[in-house]
Chain A
Amino acid sequence: MHTMTMTVTLGGLAARTGLDILGHLEREMTIPVIDGPQAQGDLIVIPLDYVTGIAIAPNAHWREVPTTGIDVLRAAAAGNPHTLVAEPGTCRWTTGVRDQTGLALGALTADDVAYLVHPEHGGSGIAPGRCVIRRQRERSGRPGQDRRYQFIAD
């Protein structure tokens, strides 16, 4: 696992994509680019070769990630959106993923560095490759519920 040095700052990324970043986050900070697992609040980015039990469906529909990004988890579902952004033509996203845990939102294939951006958590640099993005869960402690766990929304 390596942390690469790139020169993309949080402020630069916000300006390029038009995404909102909260004022207190350090905008001059260079965003580390990581080729291992990394968490952003209630989401985690995991390179596919780190996990088992995940398969991309043969008929998965891959969507090109535009400059303005794709909300992998929408604001309406969980407060603030987590947005996947990349240079045009370098990254594709699919929700056609079979995950035994049921936690996967989708998978990305990146030929260049891609970023996951969140207004409160800032930016996460994702090294080129294929990754799955999963939600976080917790045990559901309430009686009478069929599901044994529920998603966390932060």
Chain B
Amino acid sequence: MQDPYLEMGQLFRRLAPDTIGTTMPVFPTIDQIIAATRRSQVQVRRQVDDQAAERAVAVHTEPLAASRHGELRLHCEDGPAIAFGDGYGIHVLHGTAVPEWVLAGPSVDLIRREPNVEVRRSAIERIGWDTYIRQAALSPVATCPDPGNPGAALSLYDDLADDRGFAGRVLLVVNGTPEPDGHRRRYGINVPAIFDDPVDAAGWTYGLDGRQYAQLARRT
């Protein structure tokens, strides 16, 4: 007898890389997982017959307790939060789909090579921001208040350990919107090494100069 979970597992083995960095619902349906991928929805739907989609529910989800977030978020630190019949699945930390290495062994080197800013954030949060800054030997250049984001700072660091000829700087920013538990997520955004002023660097990320970015009225 064909195992519908195995069938879906094979499909999601192909789809999972496209969900990396996206937000997963607590009890995701197949349609929600497909919607979270960066693939053409039509193309994906062609691979899933309606009957299989109806049968296929993730076999194991473990939402994080409401006490931590104020609302349920899919979260599992021991293995895939969404697992299919063949043991394959999607790893999710605090709602964000991440590659397995983020759970198994986040390291400075892997984080530095990771192109997705949400995955980097998730991995750095596993290590702790202070520890990451120390281990990555990020060297402070300047820090200042973030215009339009009261109480938050923009902090510019030299990424000294970048040894591939791509010398750069990292701008640490704080999300404008608090998480359900009140804390604000921090992100490390890679910026060119030409900036000494955090406001100039922040402006560049939106194609603005520092003077223009300084007029930012609100950030959410």
Contacts and interface: CB of A to CB of B under 8 A. Distances in A.
Interface of A: 1, 3, 22-25, 32, 34, 36-41, 44, 46, 50-51, 75-77, 79-80, 99, 101, 103, 118, 120-124, 134, 136-143, 150, 152-154
Given A103-B206, A121-B177, A138-B117, 7 more contacts: A36-B215, A41-B220, A46-B208, A124-B220, A139-B168, A141-B113, A141-B159
Interface of B: 21-23, 35-41, 69-71, 112-113, 115-118, 148, 159, 162, 164-166, 168, 175-180, 187, 189-192, 205-208, 212-213, 215-220
A76 B38 contact: yes
Contacts, number: 135
Given A39-B206, A138-B205, A154-B118, A121 B190 contact: no
B218 A124 contact: yes
Q: Could you tell me the dominant secondary structure of chain B's interface residues?
A: loop
Given A143-B165, A143-B166, A39 B215 contact: no
List 4 A-B pairs, minimum CB-CB distance, nearest first. Answer: A101-B207, A24-B180, A139-B190, A36-B217
Contact of A77 (B38, B70, B113, B179): B38
Interface centre among B162, B165, B191 (most CB of A within 10 A): B191
A120 B177 contact: yes
B208 A141 contact: no
Contact of B205 (A36, A50, A123, A152): A152
A32 B218 contact: yes
Contact of B36 (A38, A79, A120): A79
Contacts of A152: 117, 189, 205
Given A76-B41, A79-B22, A44 B191 contact: no
A123 to B, nearest CB: 8
A37 B217 contact: yes
A46 B215 CA distance: 10
